[in-house]
Amino acid sequence: MSFRLVIADDHPLFRGALREAVARQFPAAELFEAGGFDDLQALLEREADIDLVLLDLAMPGVRGFSGLMYLRAQYPGVPVVVVSAHEEAATIRHCMDFGASGFIPKTSAADTMRGALAAVLEGRTWTPPDVDLDAGVDKETKALAGRLATLTPQQVRVLMMLSEGLLNKQIAYELGVSEATVKAHVSAILQKLGVESRTQAVIAAAKIEGGQWAPAAG
């Protein structure tokens, strides 16, 4: 079968290895590559009918789960499989909570990767069978992840910039919108996360991100 897949990873060698694994499983597949999140966004805007995005969590332009959250909100019809070196059960669980169709550890053998991709392209989900995703589940953290998943694509970007310590006027400049629009986004983020300040919003997100969204110094 012919599929259109995107490999989004900032390491050329790993993109090449993943491309080879995909090509062996699906010789007729059309493959695209992106080395940064901006490149990935541009590609998804340019190319129609993408069947699957293989996404590395850690790549230029995103922090923690923000790339996955943005993709699922902005392109809900495009399945995303996370391919990451972060293989902790909590990380995998959060990826699935945020709408990933699967999670493939970067340490997986090529045969495992191919089987996982086949499962997802058949409409199923796939996670490592030897990882217990129910282990150590914290109800409060799971509820917070659910609230984060309700953010719109623009709200995800605003929260990411808040975590970098940017002011409203700086965020407005980066996004090409008015300060009033940024203030509206911030208010919506606070309401959705059930917090009262920008710092509390970033700290709340950091509980999910393992510190990757920690407030910038100063």
- Look at residue 1 in the predicted model and tell me its pLDDT: 63
Are 190 and 196 in contact by the 8 Å Cβ rule? The answer is: yes
pLDDT at 188 over 60: yes
Q: Which two tokens stand for residue 195?
A: 């917090």
* The pairing of beta strand 30-34 with beta strand 4-8: parallel
What is the per-residue pLDDT across 13-69, written as a single tens digit (0 to 9) for each? Answer: 889 988 988 888 889 999 999 999 889 999 999 998 899 999 998 888 777 788 898
- Look at residue 137 in the predicted model and tell me its pLDDT: 67
Which candidate, 182, 143, 203, 174, places its Cα nearest to that of 61? 174
- Look at residue 124 in the predicted model and tell me its pLDDT: 92
**Which residue has tokens 């719109």?**
152
What is the per-residue pLDDT across 143-173, written as a single tens digit (0 to 9) for each? Answer: 888 888 889 989 988 998 888 889 999 999 9
Q: What is the pTM of this model?
A: 0.82
What is the per-residue pLDDT across 89-103, written as a single tens digit (0 to 9) for each? Answer: 888 988 998 899 999
Q: What is the mean pLDDT of residues 76-92?
A: 89
Q: What is the mean pLDDT of residues 196-204?
A: 90
What is the per-residue pLDDT across 101-116, written as a single tens digit (0 to 9) for each? Answer: 999 998 888 888 888 9
Q: Where are the domains of the chain?
A: 4-121, 139-209
- Look at residue 46 in the predicted model and tell me its pLDDT: 93
Of 3.30.460.80, 3.40.50.2300, 1.10.20.10, 1.10.1370.30, which CATH number belongs to 4-121? 3.40.50.2300
Are 71 and 156 in contact by the 8 Å Cβ rule? The answer is: no
- Look at residue 211 in the predicted model and tell me its pLDDT: 43
Q: Which residues of 119-158 are buried (b: 16+ CB within 10 A; e: fewer)?
A: ebbeeeebbbeeeebeeeeeeebeebbebbbebbebbbbb
Domains 4-121 and 139-209 are alike in CATH topology:
no
139-209 belongs to CATH 1.10.10.10: yes
- Look at residue 62 in the predicted model and tell me its pLDDT: 78
* Longest CA span, the chain: 53
